[in-house]
Structure 1
Amino acid sequence: ADATEWTFQLRKGVTFHDGTPFTADDVVYTMNRHVAEDSTSTIKSVLSSVKEWRKVNSHEVKVEMNSPNSDLPILMGLFQSKIVKNGSTGDGIGTGPFVLDSFEPGIKSLHRKNPDYWRDGANLDSIEITAITDSAARANALLAGDVQLIVAVDPKSFRQIETADGAELLSTPAAVQLGICCLKSTEPGANDDFVKGLQYIQDRERIVKKVLRGKGSVGNDTPIMFAHGRDFCENLPQREFDPDKAKFHFNKSGYTSAELHMAPVASGIEDMCLLAQANAAKIGFDLKVKKVPADGYWGAVWLTEPINVVTWFPRPTANSQIAIQFAPGAAWNDTHWHNDRLGELLKLSLAETNLERREEMYCEMQTLIHNGSGMVIPAFSNINDGIASNVMGVPNLPLGNLGGAEWPEFIWVT
């Protein structure tokens, strides 16, 4: 009842693609890799409250916590939490509805139906996934009938797909962040006035209306928005577009120019940055937007360059969203921001059962991020995918493209 111990009963009769039975050994192996002392797992911070994953029998796992974690069952739904075979490190063997036949990084992968899948599904005999990095080329491939599903439709292609015969735009309201990261570990992000200047120069309403073509919502420089329900802090004042305040803070910072490294990692993010550049120029600030290739961006630019862009698909809980981006020591801490109070609140909120006190904790966390994290989040985008009109069954799940990447199991073609 206090969320300090959890027991998971595993489904029997499930096998990996090589015929090996799925058991508690696989779960314990997978989860221990995430929380090991030398682990660099991106969900290590999210699972930091776990003391031990213990096998009870072949199909039962007990989890003991160092501190209460009421979100743990939900966190098992994160894509990083998918279970791999005991002892495996990269062979691509899972228990899912399709078996990996071949994989050419950056080119394509081929998958065939798993005849031993444990439940009904996998309506297709095979799937071919092709890498098309250019958004316009993806849209053209859909319209030409060369592919039947595409992800991350650029807003410039919305109307073209919406009015085409044989294709449809699937727009799912979601909290997909369009963000600018100012690293707090170096200048100019370490300067609070510089960050505030960059925040006030964002014309948030225009970004949603013009850049995202209305398929999005205004952001408030925190990753939590109204879709997170009671954990969203309604009392946090909305930061508005205010060129005068932006000029005041830029002047106070002592900076007259800065360079923003940008790659088109999300639909609309390039135009968002160019709009900020134009707004900054009007008040005498030189915001240079350096466009870099999307290929290799996450390894070479994000978390490295002093000012860079980021996009995040929503996590299933507010706590997991904040923890993966801002927890002290998190592998993917967007801005190298370390706030001990935030780390404390992340743990306390998981143990809190009083809803009013829990809401106060989440409001405090969002206020800390809003005022001091170095994060600029002007807008949230819908998840926008394109599908052929004869494709049915794509799940309406706002956790990622094409139903949170769960589409292979559910779709069929008429």
Structure 2
Amino acid sequence: MIRTRRAARRLLAAASLGVAGALVLSACSADTSSPDATAAPEWDYTVQTAAPSGDIDSFSWVSYSEPYSLDYAYAFDYADNQVLSNVCESLLRLNPDYTLTPGLAEAFEHPTPETWVYTIRDGVTFHDGTPLTAADVVASMSRHLDPEVGSSWYSVYQNVASIQQTGDRQVTVTMNQADSQFNLAMGGAAGVVESAATLADKGADYGNSSGLVNCTGPFELSEWKSGESVTLTRYDDYWDASLRAKAGEVEILFMTDANARVNALKSGEVDGGWMIPTDAISQLQSSGKGDIHFGLNTAVGSLVVSNLEGPLGDERVRRALLMAMDRQGILDAAAKGYGEVTDVLTTESVWVGAGDAALKEAFDGLEEYPYDVEAAKKLIDEAGVTGEEIVIATAPISNDFTVISQGAAAAAQSIGLTATIETVSPSAYTALFSDPSAREGIDLFYTSWYLSSPDPLEMYSVLRTGEFSNYGNWSDPEFDALVNEAVAIDDPAARSEVTAQAQRIANAQLPWLPLLQGPMTLFLGDRVTGVAPSVAFMYYPWAATIGSR
């Protein structure tokens, strides 16, 4: 299935309408006119599921892993943010169509290239009943600058010179240089606001299963049973009537075994879940217990090159490994054809505001990596690394993790490398993204890397020299210069033209190995409805919209 640029734009345009009910767009299918052609599965994009008929006392949900942390400074993965998005709120709100609108900041201004001024919303209370103040905003944001905290979102704040209260309900952020990305990130975890008093009181226990959190969202985090579940309870004094929770309680269960998750959905034991294993889609569609939906996604499935000290430090070896992987075969096995192979690290859905020239530069005439084992072997011979070992980390999260790790290992061995697969728990796998010590001895690991803002520069910013998420410490001066130039450009169309040049460098040098992209998947049981099946569930209070079917 190839989704054209026109189809991607049509999806975004329809999503921006915000219509109620089940609005779907047909995706294209493979050409089956040839008897040798393999038909891609037929499926539709859903922008919004049907509106609820009313409130519901409670519903249950399933997650592939327990959160690493619910401290917003460390919430960096799906398991963390799908909980936090319903409990804590940011200065801006990232909507299911990937637009940004006011959140806890009712307005913002950009009076100079180096200044962002936020007007804090009045009448908002934390879950303990205390009012939201500008001082809370300053305290919450300042944690990202504290080396003792070690925020996973420090890169968003790296150009910040000061964060100050400049009025009763006003906070001013002054930058060392122009930074277009800072405000765009205020719709995600980097823009979350917590009570300053709670942060001081909880200390090191903040955000864990004993300290919990105290935020302003439509649900309160009322219980965290370590290793089992979290329970969210409706906050009746929530400020935004349009997002008042329709459920009195939500229980999110942790099930690390993919089969257990699927069986729980098939049996009706739980009411829904995100990121459905694609090998289970047909089972769930025929279960009679609910519906599968496919929604907007910004994620690209890639192999992160986390060690450039070994054989993968040679660009020829990275190219050879990608060419030795039958990516279409991997897509068919790992995602059952729900998606397409890609040679870049961004989806066109995040190029919001880009002009036609920028899109052409970013996506047309790129370096391609066709499946060619013999050509790949020649590159390995040229690099002189035959027989050297690479270690690939994986976890029992879903079928794609297994297929991709095994496919990468088989590809490596087919061109003369030695490959070892190291299987870790889902929680240990999450640590690969936040703890450098967890990556020791690991050369490759798979990620479905989503973007939390409507701008492709977010992806390439994290690959600059020295960035927190530049896990392999890749470095290219020309790339860094382009990204830094783009960061300083406010106009999204002009910025995208420079970002497109950075995308071409990453496409040629492969700091990560791009594999595939596909839709966000969601299962809704027959008791519930009302949610938009968009990857924005990471930051948008998706559970608040779910009610009785």
Shared fold, TM over 0.5: yes
Residue from 387, 391, 396 that aligns with 1:256: 387
8 Å CA contact 2:311, 2:388 repeated in 1: no
Instruction: State the alpha-carbon separation in 2 of the partners of residues 31 and 373 from structure 1.
Output: 33
Q: 1:23 is matched with which residue?
A: 133
Residue from 278, 291, 295 that aligns with 1:172: 295
Is the aligned partner of 1:377 residue 2:514? yes
SS of corresponding position for 2:298 = strand
Q: 2:25 is matched with which residue?
A: none
Residue from 190, 197, 200 that aligns with 2:323: 200
8 Å CA contact 1:216, 1:379 repeated in 2: yes
Is the aligned partner of 1:226 residue 2:348? yes
Q: 1:353 to 1:374 in 2, by over 3 A?
A: closer
SS of corresponding position for 2:154 = coil
Q: 2:17 is matched with which residue?
A: none
Mapping of 1:143-162 within 5 angstroms?
143-162=266-285
Instruction: State the alpha-carbon separation in 2 of the partners of residues 84 and 327 from structure 1.
Output: 30
After TM superposition, give the deviation of residue 228 of structure 1 in Å.
2.5
Q: 1:3 to 1:145 in 2, by over 3 A?
A: same
Is the aligned partner of 1:294 residue 2:429? no
Instruction: State the alpha-carbon separation in 2 of the partners of residues 265 and 331 from structure 1.
Output: 24
Instruction: State the alpha-carbon separation in 1 of the partners of residues 459 and 140 from structure 2.
Output: 21
After TM superposition, give the deviation of residue 173 of structure 1 in Å.
4.0
Q: What amino acid sits opposite 1:289 in the alignment?
A: I
Residue from 459, 473, 476 that aligns with 1:336: 473
Q: 1:47 to 1:344 in 2, by over 3 A?
A: farther
8 Å CA contact 2:307, 2:443 repeated in 1: no
Instruction: State the alpha-carbon separation in 1 of the partners of residues 130 and 493 from structure 2.
Output: 47
Mapping of 1:81-230 within 5 angstroms?
81-87=191-197, 88=199, 89=203, 90=206, 91=211, 92-120=213-241, 121-220=244-343, 222-229=344-351, 230=354
Is the aligned partner of 1:43 residue 2:172? no
Q: 1:313 is matched with which residue?
A: 450
Give CA deviations for 1:214-265 in whole Å, capped at 9, x if unaligned: 2223221x42232222365113333322222211122222233533222244
Instruction: State the alpha-carbon separation in 2 of the partners of residues 35 and 206 from structure 1.
Output: 44
Q: 1:272 is matched with which residue?
A: 404
After TM superposition, give the deviation of residue 349 of structure 1 in Å.
0.7
Q: What amino acid sits opposite 1:175 in the alignment?
A: T
After TM superposition, give the deviation of residue 185 of structure 1 in Å.
4.1
What root-mean-square deviation, in Å, do the aligned CA atoms of Structure 1 and Structure 2 show? Answer: 2.5
8 Å CA contact 2:133, 2:169 repeated in 1: yes
Gaps of 5+ in 2: 1-110
When structure 1 is superposed on structure 2, of 354-363 and 261-270 the one drifting more is: 354-363
Q: 1:100 to 1:189 in 2, by over 3 A?
A: same
After TM superposition, give the deviation of residue 103 of structure 1 in Å.
0.8
Gaps of 5+ in 1: none
Q: 1:71 is matched with which residue?
A: 181
8 Å CA contact 1:183, 1:190 repeated in 2: no
When structure 1 is superposed on structure 2, of 127-136 and 266-275 the one drifting more is: 266-275
After TM superposition, give the deviation of residue 340 of structure 1 in Å.
4.0
After TM superposition, give the deviation of residue 400 of structure 1 in Å.
4.8
When structure 1 is superposed on structure 2, of 199-208 and 256-265 the one drifting more is: 256-265
After TM superposition, give the deviation of residue 23 of structure 1 in Å.
1.0
When structure 1 is superposed on structure 2, of 179-188 and 97-106 the one drifting more is: 179-188
Q: 1:305 to 1:169 in 2, by over 3 A?
A: farther
Instruction: State the alpha-carbon separation in 2 of the partners of residues 357 and 405 from structure 1.
Output: 28
When structure 1 is superposed on structure 2, of 113-122 and 383-392 the one drifting more is: 383-392
8 Å CA contact 1:161, 1:169 repeated in 2: yes
Q: What amino acid sits opposite 1:64 in the alignment?
A: T
Q: 1:341 to 1:85 in 2, by over 3 A?
A: farther
8 Å CA contact 2:233, 2:248 repeated in 1: yes
Q: TM-score, normalised by structure 1?
A: 0.90
Instruction: State the alpha-carbon separation in 2 of the partners of residues 158 and 9 from structure 1.
Output: 45
Q: 1:2 to 1:218 in 2, by over 3 A?
A: farther
When structure 1 is superposed on structure 2, of 125-134 and 201-210 the one drifting more is: 201-210
> Identity of paired residues, percent?
21
When structure 1 is superposed on structure 2, of 40-49 and 301-310 the one drifting more is: 301-310
Q: TM-score, normalised by structure 2?
A: 0.69
When structure 1 is superposed on structure 2, of 57-66 and 5-14 the one drifting more is: 57-66
After TM superposition, give the deviation of residue 115 of structure 1 in Å.
1.2
SS of corresponding position for 2:495 = helix
After TM superposition, give the deviation of residue 100 of structure 1 in Å.
1.7
Instruction: State the alpha-carbon separation in 2 of the partners of residues 302 and 372 from structure 1.
Output: 25
Is the aligned partner of 1:346 residue 2:483? yes
8 Å CA contact 2:179, 2:488 repeated in 1: yes
SS of corresponding position for 1:377 = strand
After TM superposition, give the deviation of residue 58 of structure 1 in Å.
2.7
SS of corresponding position for 1:125 = strand
Q: 1:173 to 1:242 in 2, by over 3 A?
A: farther
Q: 1:365 to 1:303 in 2, by over 3 A?
A: farther
8 Å CA contact 1:152, 1:267 repeated in 2: no
Is the aligned partner of 1:363 residue 2:500? yes
